[in-house]
Structures are given as C-alpha cells and as structure tokens.
Structure 1
Amino acid sequence: MAKKVSSDTSINAQRRQLLKFAGASAAAGGLGLSAGLAKAGATLESASSDDVLDIAIIGGGLSGLTSARDLQRAGCESFVVLEARDRVGGRTLNYDVGHGEVSDVGGQWIGPSQTAVADLARELEVETFPSYYDGKTVILGGEGQLAIDLEGTFGTDHAIAEKLSKLSRDVPSGAPWRSPRAEELDKLSVGDWLARQDIKPEDRVSWDGSIALTGGVMPAKMGFLHFLSMINSATSDYFKLDSIKDSAQGTRFVGGAQLLSIKMAKELGDKLRLSCPVRRISDWDSDVVTLHTDQGTIRARQVIMALSPPLCQQIEFSPALPEKRAALQRAWPAHSPARKTAMVYSRPFWREQGLNGHIFQVNGPIIWAYDNSPVNGEVGVINAFVSNANLPSDHNQAKRALAEIYAQAWGDKALRPVAYHDQDWGQVDPWTITCISAIPPGFWTTHGEALNPPSGKLIWSGTETADIWAGYMDGAVRSGHQSALEALNALRLRRRT
C-alpha cells in the first residue's frame, strides 16, 4: 500500500522535508521529452506544362489544414495539401482507450486568449471541457511523498511570477528580437535569471518542472528572451501560461485535439494527399515552383510551408535558400521530441481519495503526470510526460515502472491498468523531430529577422511563425489564417500586373 501522505499546512516545510527524503536539493532531473484518415486520392501524376496549381500547401497539421479551409471558403479551388505522414494532425494525435473514448498523446490544451483555435473548434462543432485539477497533487521524492492542494497551479512562487510578467510586457511575442532590451535579455538563460532570484531549493523544484514542461528543456538551456515572449502571448500573465486553472492548460477537446484536423481534412476530398513527403523544391525564386514528391511532381504559383523550421532541413532547395533563412533552419533546436504515456484504468479511482491525479516526481522518470480522463470520467486515464533517461524504452518494463510509481501515490489499485500507450515521438514519427521549440539564449537576436519574410514564392507558416501563442495549437491556427491571406494576396497582385 502507499505510504501515508503528509497533511502539514506549510507547503514550503513539506517540500523541504520531501527533499530530505529524496536526498536531493535541486532540479527534478534531466528532461527527456524526448486518429488518422485513409489515403485521400490516388497517386499524383507528373504535372504537364499546363498543369499549374495556384497554391500548394506542405503540411497537413492544424496550420496547413486551416490555410486550406480558408482557401476553399474564399473560393479558391486550385490547391493541394501534401502531408508526409499517413494521417493528418501533425503534432496532435488521439489514442483510442476503448469505450468510444480517446486520450491525447500529442498537443491537447487551449486556454484564455487562444481565440483562434477556440473559434475553429466552435465552427467545426468540437466541444471543450475543463482540465481536471480538483483535489491534491502528490509530489514524490525517493520513498517520501506529500499531497498538496496547489489550487490549479504548478506551485510556483507568486512574487517571482509577477517579476516575469512585468518583464514580458516589453518583449513582443511575435518578434522578441525587437524588444528594446533584446540584446541584454537574450544573453541569459531562464536558469541564469532564476539563479539571481534567491529561490530556495525546495521552490526551485517547482520552477524547473514547470519551465521544462513549457519549454522542452531545463531552464539552463532555454533562452530568457524567448520565455518572456511566451509569457507575453499569455497577456503578460505568467500564471495564464504555466498553470492549469484559467491557463494554457485549462481546457481540453471532447474527442481529442486531433479531431479538429480530422474534420477539416474530410472537407478537402482529393485535395489532400497523405504519405506524400516533399523531397525537393526547385525554382522557388521563379514564377512557378516545382515540388518533387514521393507521388510525383507538382507545380504551383505559391507554396505555403506549413511545417516546423528544422523539418525544412529534410527538403532539398534548388537554388539554395537565402543564407539567413538557411542559417535559421540549421540553428533551430530539434531535440525535444516528447515522450508521453497514457495509463488506462476502469475508472478514475484517485478522485475518490481526494486526489486530482497529478504527480510531480523529484529525480524520477515522471516530469508531470495528470488526469487525462474523458469529460465524464467514463474511464480513468493518467497521462505523463516522462524522461527517457529514467524510464525503460521497453513497453512492458515502462508500463510496470509507471504503475509502481502510481501505486506509491494512490495505492495498489494503480497496479491494475486495463491498457497502456507509450508515444515516444522521437522513435515513432520521423516527421515530428521536435514537439516544442526549446529556443536557446542568443537565438532570436541572431536569427529572428529571417523567421517570417517569404523566400521567393515560399510563404513560411506553422505555429512557430505566429504573432502570439507561437508553438501552441492556437499559434498554428493563426499562422494558417495569415498564410492563406498572404498567398491569395500574392496571386491577386500577380494577376494585376
């Protein structure tokens, strides 16, 4: 049976006690953040000299599909969407847990001010519901544990959060390199800045875990300017970025986030090509661009590049891209392919114990485990971001290790899951080489100006290019809208000349 959790009313005192149990006094270990449709349409034939589309979209995630949907609504039918995977949804993915329910094993949350994705969901008639956080969170360290009511937060300090919120007001989310303090702030990592704040070790655990979840790396590797730009997206309110209640992790989709892409894809018919990676792009600086794919050759007047910057490195460009753009793509971090697990139980039994299903672990494989059960709790699902360095890669061994950790928190019922899924993005999806853009210090002041300007007929899209909520589903939808407008406007100007 699980050990009895502490009921001490002093959170900081409990943290200090826990860290003694764990024999640790610093961060919670390294970070290893390391459904679909059938093929739509037949294999593409090689294009003739007269077969030129107005627009080709590379990428069938939220961004590319939003662009396609906007083109159709604007009356443009001369386009195609090319997706390398055998499914749509990009970095969102549903796992079938049975009983007609799913669990997200990719991107899944939205929150306040993320109006673009919320509007899209309403239009597609995809309902939402609040993330579950009622009850106490369990923190594990070694053989010790404690339960704390974090009131929908990750337990970070309000005074430090207010400092971050204030600093973020001068860092524009869509162009952090244009901050009046960009040079100064971009020299620092988040870890550098936190080290200057006289934060107690027991409090630093919460900060490190929270920032690692948001940025994909530990604070020492994440650029401070970039982190402030993320907070700026959240209306310059740190807790709207890194919390659960009323935050970017506050709301989920009924049927899973991938459902948005699945519904948009169904409207496209044979304009969507799955399992169709683009290998080479030639003549991007000419009137007509040629795309060389696994299903043939396509020619288009405009191309929307709705994929992450490092993924562009897998495409050959002829002629070579402008050096500043090429340098941005080479330098873009691509080392955060998250590993996300889903443990399924017959019901969310932890709720009956006054626990919310959330776990933070000091120096263990779990970065954050949380209740990811369906809207009415028909089955119980615990998802977790896990560290590859501390969890076996073998499916059965990982399942057993996680079940034992959950049993330490909630008792022996956790040892009897009915299903388990392990989504190690870095191992199973070659087209998702990074789930989160862990931008390092110095990146934006060196490469930022090359992020958005088109290269010839190539329009750079995807969530990383969004003015706000870059890196989130909302940013993907915003970039999709913007790219469709840019492509249509370019065609309009072309036809006037």
Structure 2
Amino acid sequence: MASSGEDHTWDVIVIGAGIAGMTAAYRILQADQNARVLVLEAKDRVGGRTDTLEMNAALGKDVWDLGGQWVGRTQHHMLWLMEELGITKYPQYTAGRKVLRLSDDKIRSYTTSIPTLPLMSLIDLHRFMSAVDRMAKTVPIDDPRKAVYAEEWDSITLETLMRRLMWTQSAWDVTDAATCVVFGTKPRAISLLSHLHYFNSGGGVEALIDTKEDCANEYKITGGAMQICERLRDAVGEKNVLIGEPVTEIDQSDEDVVSVTTATGKNFRCRYIISAAPLHCSVDIDYIPHQPTVRASLALHSPVGHLFKFVISYKKAFWREKGYSGELVSTGGQPVLPGCTSGPLQLIYDASTPNGNPALVGFYANGREWSNKTEEECKGAVLNALAEIFGPEAKQPIDFKQKDWGKEPYNGGCPVNVMTPGAISYFYDGLTQPFDRIHWAGTESATIWRGYMSGAVQSGMRAADEVLDRLWPGLPRDNLLKELDDMRSDKTRQIPRWLSLSGAVAVGLLFSYAVRRYWLTL
C-alpha cells in the first residue's frame, strides 16, 4: 500500500486503534471483506486505553495490564469479541479477608460481603446506595434526557446528592473512594444525571464496584487486554493499520470525498470516517469547512479522569498465606510526602497470573498529586503502605511498574470522560450524532457498560452499522448488535444481600426505638 492516499480512495477511514476503532474496522470487513478500510493511530502502538507489558516474575517473565483489564459475564459485547478472537478469561482471586482503610486511618478487615463499619454507617451506606440504584433505573440508557427528573439531576453533582442524603463520614469515604476508582475523579466533578446513566448502563451500583458474579471486575483476560487490539489488527490487515499518524485535519469541502491529513504530512481520501479518538482528543483536529460545535462544547464540559496504576510482582503470594484476598479499599491514609494530601493506596487487588506468578495491582489515591512524584518516591510510599497492611514481605518485590494515564500521549487521562452539570442537557447529541460524513465511536458513547471495554466494543459496532447503512444501504447484514444489546439483564440490579440486611437492621432499630419511647411515656 502506498504511504499516501493521493491515488486511492478508501471506503472508510477509522481514527484511533483502540478497542472501539478496531472493532468498527473489523465489523465493516465482516459485512464486506472487500471493503477498503484504513485505520490511522496517533500513538506508536495499537490498544488505546489498554496497555499490556512484560515484567520480571517469580517464574521468569509474565505480562500484566497497566490499562483496562477486567471483564464481567454481563459484558456481552466484550465476551462476543473475545470469543471471536480466541481470547480466554480467568477469575479474579477473591478468597480471604478484605481490608478497608478510611479517613479515620483505622485498618479494618472482613471476610463476608458486609464491610466492617459502624452500624449507623452501614445503614447510611445502604440508604444512599439504594437511592442511587432506584434513581438510576429511571434513567433510560438510550437517552438520559428522557428521564423524568433529567433537568434537575443534570443541574447538580453527585456530591450534592451525597450531602443531601449522607450523615456519616465512613459512608462518605466509601462512596468517594469508589467514585474515584470508577471515574478517575471526585464526586463533585460529575453531573448526577451522568452518574446515574453510567451506573444504569452497567446494571447498577453493585455491578460496577464489586468482583463477584455478574460484576465488572469478575474476570481478567488471559495474556492481557492489549492483545484484543493486536488480534483485531491482524484480522483487519497490518498494512491497513498505520501507527504514528496523528490526524490533524479533516476536510469535507468536497461533496464526493473526505480528505484526511496527518502530522507526518500524509493525505488520505475516503467516503466516510469513524472517529474513535477520545472525546477531548477528537476536537483537537481541524475541521474544514466548519467545526462540530456541539461536540466541541461537549468536550469542554467532559473532562477526562486521571487514573494512576501500578503492578508489583512478588516471589510468593504472602498475602494469601496470611489469609488475605489482596483486596484493599482506602482513602489513602495519612500523608507521607509533601504535596500529597493522603497516602498512596486507593484500591488493591490480587493480580497473580494463571501462570502462577504472584502480583498485586493497584491505583493511587489522589493520582494527580502522585503524578508529580518520582517513580522511586511512588514506589517507596506504595511498598511501605502495603507493608502496613500485609506485612514486611511487601517491601521485597521482584518488579514494580506504574503508568500515569494523565501523561499518556493522545489520551491525557483514563478511564473515561465524565460529564459535568449541564453537559447532557445541552450537548448530549455531540456524543453520537454524525457530523456530515464523520461518525463517532468510543466507550463514552455506549449505552451498555459505558466507560468500559465492553462499551467500547458496542460503540464500535454501532458506528460501523451507521456507516454501512450509508455506504451500501441494501447490503444484507447480521443482527448481532441488537442481539447483544438485548442480552442486557436486570439480574445484576438486585440490592446486595448485606445492604438488605442492614436495611432490615435499620427497621428493627427504629421499631425498638419507637417501642421504648412508647413505654417511657406511660
């Protein structure tokens, strides 16, 4: 293939070789193997917000994910793609005691589904999570603007709701920590309506924050998540996937062809474009003859989260030997370095591989603050904090790797763009509404498992179908996207058993209090 498209007009150019973009290219070729599809990727690799790397391990070498990595059994779009590509999964290790460390700096452990919190904090957390789940169910996944209270909920943040409904610090801490991990930002930065839509797209509160059956963190991908895009590249044809080609200009002045220019000076022509670049990156491109103003406004009101992730390999899974699952939820603990308002740990999981190599994976609390520290400073703080929880063996790793997604070129953050108040009310059409001959993909535009890898797959399939309808209106196609969408179930919408238990306890306490008051008045 020529290095420039001057003598060739492609049917479709896909911008971005992440999961959404590569899925779109794959689906178009599934519909017509003779379709002329080109993928342009700004980075020097495919994979987008996935990134699998090799590390030293107990048994030599192994691979771990520093980007997206988990998948659940209700993420049907992702599971379909993995099956297509011959990629398998294995369960997240969860056996043993879990650890909770909140702003009171107490280290609590528990073995059941009920976190070790004061009774009133459990009741408080139950009330809040139940309220969020009930509200989320009323937000249509196809368009959150159709919700009865859409305008009211889009005018306030998630933190506003927390202040209205919560009264205990522990419940606040748990919710704040969960929000930071799911979105990469604080509750005060997120439109309540956007938050509710996001949770409904994934099946409810518990589904997004737990590791058990039907939840988002149920499984990991054997061999790492980045191979999804690598295998899609092989299926699309490596010669049709150009890396190191940031798109700088899209010109739709000509009625017959769209002209695409990259930073290396190459020019390509096509009939349609699927842009799967991150929302905030898609508006860095120059558009001729005019800009997609609604999408640009949406991008301004949808900052990207900031996750800072690390993986540590060990000789032995010493935490398992001590009866721990490796799971830790924390607000960070007390500050340990100047410029950081807390310690380093936000969330930890067992990351041992199916090859028998022990490891832990985690995310920094207040990642933007730790982003300013050296890797040695970060590593020392993380190992010291882990030693407080799991013992001195934590200070003896084989290898330590970290990735600050805020510094990743052509991403600038992770895991997702979050919408601030007003963004949905005024600019929501910018997510998926085509801009002339440009169609948009990306996990933010998904209606099921939005923000996750499965959402990226769904968005790529949807954008591919839109373009196919314009390219070849009469072309027979399968009904796969609708079939996968229809597999969405409300099974995961059940309130967790421990929450039901705490609700029952709350009713019992109130009843006892009322009876006592009655007898005291006699």
TM-score by length of 1: 0.85
Q: Percent identity?
A: 27
Q: Distance in 2 between matches of 1:298 and 1:387?
A: 42
For the pair 1:331 / 2:290, whether they are aligned, the reply is no
Runs of 4+, deviation exceeding 6 Å: 152-156
Q: Distance in 1 between matches of 2:18 and 2:217?
A: 20
Aligned to 1:23: none
For the pair 1:213 / 2:174, whether they are aligned, the reply is no
What aligned pairs does 1:78-117 form with structure 2 within 5 A after superposition?
Answer: 78-98=36-56, 99-117=60-78
What SS does the corresponding residue of 2:472 show, helix, strand or coil?
helix
Aligned to 1:146: 108
Deviates more, 1:429-438 or 1:73-82: 429-438
What aligned pairs does 1:227-238 form with structure 2 within 5 A after superposition?
Answer: 227-235=195-203, 237-238=204-205
Aligned to 1:310: 280
| AA aligned opposite 2:314 | Y
Rate the CA distance shift 1:449–1:150 in 2: closer, same or farther, 3 A.
farther
Deviates more, 1:352-361 or 1:323-332: 323-332
What SS does the corresponding residue of 1:445 show, helix, strand or coil?
helix
Aligned to 2:89: 128
For the pair 1:249 / 2:208, whether they are aligned, the reply is no
Aligned to 1:17: none
For the pair 1:57 / 2:30, whether they are aligned, the reply is no
Query: Shift of residue 249 of structure 1?
Result: 1.6
Q: Distance in 2 between matches of 1:304 and 1:153?
A: 45
Contact 1:154 1:242 in 2 (8 A): no
Deviates more, 1:133-142 or 1:281-290: 133-142
Rate the CA distance shift 1:183–1:285 in 2: closer, same or farther, 3 A.
farther
Which residue of 332, 335, 346 maps to 1:367? 346
Rate the CA distance shift 1:287–1:477 in 2: closer, same or farther, 3 A.
same
CA distances 1:65-100 after superposition (whole Å, capped 9, x unpaired)? 111111222224311011111111100111212334
| AA aligned opposite 1:475 | G
Query: Shift of residue 474 of structure 1?
Result: 0.7
Which residue of 23, 26, 39 maps to 1:66? 23
Q: Distance in 2 between matches of 1:72 and 1:46?
A: 19
| AA aligned opposite 1:312 | S
Aligned to 1:396: 376
Contact 2:108 2:116 in 1 (8 A): no
Query: Shift of residue 423 of structure 1?
Result: 0.3
Contact 1:347 1:377 in 2 (8 A): no
Q: Distance in 2 between matches of 1:152 and 1:265?
A: 44
CA distances 1:142-180 after superposition (whole Å, capped 9, x unpaired)? 774222235398987333222211111111224212212
For the pair 1:478 / 2:447, whether they are aligned, the reply is no
Deviates more, 1:316-325 or 1:397-406: 316-325
What SS does the corresponding residue of 2:70 show, helix, strand or coil?
coil
Query: Shift of residue 258 of structure 1?
Result: 1.0
Structure 1: any 5+ residue segments left out of the alignment? 1-41
| AA aligned opposite 1:385 | Y
Contact 1:154 1:210 in 2 (8 A): no
What SS does the corresponding residue of 1:196 show, helix, strand or coil?
helix
What aligned pairs does 1:440-459 form with structure 2 within 5 A after superposition?
Answer: 440-459=420-439
Q: Distance in 2 between matches of 1:154 and 1:292?
A: 57
Query: Shift of residue 410 of structure 1?
Result: 1.0
Rate the CA distance shift 1:238–1:433 in 2: closer, same or farther, 3 A.
closer
Rate the CA distance shift 1:365–1:284 in 2: closer, same or farther, 3 A.
farther
Deviates more, 1:463-472 or 1:277-286: 277-286
TM-score by length of 2: 0.81
Deviates more, 1:178-187 or 1:318-327: 318-327
What SS does the corresponding residue of 2:71 show, helix, strand or coil?
coil
| AA aligned opposite 2:197 | S
Query: Shift of residue 43 of structure 1?
Result: 6.8
What SS does the corresponding residue of 1:244 show, helix, strand or coil?
coil
What aligned pairs does 1:400-479 form with structure 2 within 5 A after superposition?
Answer: 400-479=380-459
Rate the CA distance shift 1:92–1:200 in 2: closer, same or farther, 3 A.
same
Aligned to 1:16: none
Contact 1:84 1:431 in 2 (8 A): no
Deviates more, 1:77-86 or 1:167-176: 167-176
Query: Shift of residue 435 of structure 1?
Result: 2.8
| AA aligned opposite 2:406 | G
Contact 1:341 1:384 in 2 (8 A): yes
Structure 2: any 5+ residue segments left out of the alignment? 334-341, 476-522
Rate the CA distance shift 1:113–1:181 in 2: closer, same or farther, 3 A.
same
Deviates more, 1:447-456 or 1:274-283: 447-456
Contact 1:174 1:229 in 2 (8 A): no
Query: Shift of residue 493 of structure 1?
Result: 4.2
Aligned to 1:262: 230
Contact 1:345 1:417 in 2 (8 A): yes
Aligned to 1:45: 4
CA distances 1:118-146 after superposition (whole Å, capped 9, x unpaired)? 11111111111121222122234677422
CA distances 1:361-387 after superposition (whole Å, capped 9, x unpaired)? 344221112212213542223333343
Q: Distance in 1 between matches of 2:21 and 2:474?
A: 22
Contact 2:351 2:358 in 1 (8 A): no
The CA RMSD measured in Å over matched residues stands at 2.3
Number of corresponding residues: 450
Rate the CA distance shift 1:386–1:341 in 2: closer, same or farther, 3 A.
farther
Q: Distance in 2 between matches of 1:425 and 1:222?
A: 19
Aligned to 2:266: 296
What SS does the corresponding residue of 2:248 show, helix, strand or coil?
strand
Q: Distance in 1 between matches of 2:202 and 2:9?
A: 42
Query: Shift of residue 329 of structure 1?
Result: 2.7
What aligned pairs does 1:351-366 form with structure 2 within 5 A after superposition?
Answer: 351-359=320-328, 360=330, 361-362=332-333, 363-366=342-345
Deviates more, 1:120-129 or 1:355-364: 355-364
